[in-house]
Amino acid sequence: MQRRVTGLIAVVSALGMTAALGGCGGSSGSGDVTLRLVAADYGDSKANSSQKYWDELTKAYEAKNPGVKVEVSVYSWNEVDAKVKKMVADGDAPDMAQIGAYADYAAKGQLYKADDLLSINTQADFVSRLTEAGEIDRTQYGMPFASSTRLLFYNKKLFRDAGLTPPQSWSQLASDAEVLKSRGVKYPYALPLGPEEAQAETMMWLLSGGDGYTDTVGSYGIDSKQNVETFTWLKEKLVEKGLTGPVAPANLNRAEAFAAFTRGEVGMLNGHPTLMQAAAAKGVKFGMVPMPGINGRSKATMGVADWMMAFRQPGHAEQVGNFLDYVYSEKNVLKFSHEYDLLPVTTSASEAMSADKSDADLVGFLDELPNAELYPVAKTSWASVSADIKQQIGKAVGPKGSPAAILGQLQRAAAAEENAS
């Protein structure tokens, strides 16, 4: 998921998968085979590095499949995509990569189809919204590995002391923020539109305003009438009234906003599951509600996914498929999700999590997933468009900013990228 936070919050996504394996208990082919996997690190220290998760998983897998060895190299989110890109460019593609985007490789014919790899039970167990996001022209290349949704977090103590209830509409969010400001709250509503993950905060607000990055046929529609109205409201009703705190939204990154929330300085902000643990560790009492919409709760929320993909170059389809069936077993999906406070990417693991009382805090996020809207990751242009949004969108709510002008600029750049790709 691009949206990586280091230090305070180091993760950003995930869901889980089925227990039905494609023969994972037996031999996966004649002869000895070594599979190479390059994976992203969801931990924030050596103690909880994803390397530890993969080492334990591959050790158990190899014990059941003596003809196959799996070597896993784990890199930080700051370098893993570039590592894989260089390996592919050098003609040395790994068998598998677990990274943030798959579309470029799929468009060049470098990936196996999921149909070529996974058992029917495993492929059918993916959460349907995530399966759809992993498809290009109705063929699945990207296998969801990690996912999360977003809810509106609010500080229970600040709300209780001010006699407020969590907002269900934009107008209530603004009025709650005004009361919090009058009581000296530093960030009544934290609006992180800084370059770290501005594309996420932007998408949440566009969805709550009834639109998004693309239209009904999948073309970019960043400067739609609804999107311009959404950012005009943000600028006029929140930012210009001083309800978003002392740091200009264009300069406020998600990690900084999360850290301020754990210090009790934020009344409301959008967050993902990993914020729960960080806030609880600092003793902050918080509540979570769906993102408010214009006249009631938003009809859609944002989902984020990271992806597993398999490269055709090494040519180990049978062994890769057998290993991935094991990776996506209910037990392994749940273990990963619990380790990093993420959501499972499979229906079976999601149902198990929903039924587990110890996971009660995650149910709200799970409930949002079936209707979540994901980034347009099937577009090869999305990486460039996302980078452009990160750098420019904060200007739309700045003192001299024009939502219509900035969104129009982003739309023209997105259309050009789409045509070029």
CATH code for the domain in which residue 40 is found? 3.40.190.10
| CA dihedral angle for residue 22, residue 24, residue 30, residue 31, rounded to 10 degrees | 140
| Whether residue 185 sits in one domain with residue 76 | no
**Cα 373 off chain centre by:** 11
| Whether residue 317 sits in one domain with residue 255 | no
pTM of the model: 0.85
| Whether residue 158 sits in one domain with residue 141 | no
Structure tokens at 160: 């209780």
Mark out the alpha helices in 37-152 (DSSP H runs).
50-64, 80-89, 103-107, 120-125, 128-133
| Whether residue 97 sits in one domain with residue 173 | no
Residue 7 falls inside a structural domain: no
Residue 51 falls inside a structural domain: yes
| Whether residue 163 sits in one domain with residue 73 | no
Low-confidence ranges of the chain (pLDDT < 50): 1-30
Q: Is 341 within 8 Å of 276 (Cβ atoms)?
A: yes
Phi-psi category of residue 163: left, alpha or beta, with phi > 0 → left and psi -120 to 50 → alpha: left
| Whether residue 222 sits in one domain with residue 94 | no
Q: Which domain range does residue 52 map to?
A: 33-148+304-374
The whole-number pLDDT of residue 31 equals 56
Mark out the alpha helices in 342-420 (DSSP H runs).
347-355, 363-368, 382-392, 403-420
| Whether residue 395 sits in one domain with residue 325 | no
Q: Is 342 within 8 Å of 14 (Cβ atoms)?
A: yes
Residue 354 falls inside a structural domain: yes
Residue 180 falls inside a structural domain: yes
Q: What is the pLDDT of residues 221-252, one digit of tens each?
A: 999 999 999 999 999 999 999 999 999 999 99
For residue 233, give the H/E element and its range: helix 225-233
| Whether residue 295 sits in one domain with residue 397 | yes
| Whether residue 239 sits in one domain with residue 203 | yes
Residue 14 falls inside a structural domain: no
373: Cα within 13 Å, side-chain hemisphere? 21
Residue with tokens 């999921």: 114
The whole-number pLDDT of residue 373 equals 93
| Whether residue 137 sits in one domain with residue 77 | yes
| Whether residue 160 sits in one domain with residue 257 | yes
Residue 15 falls inside a structural domain: no
Residue 3 falls inside a structural domain: no
Residue 23 falls inside a structural domain: no
Count of the separate structural domains present in the chain: 2
The neighbouring-strand residues paired with 98 are 39, 308
Structure tokens at 134: 């992993």
| Whether residue 340 sits in one domain with residue 271 | no
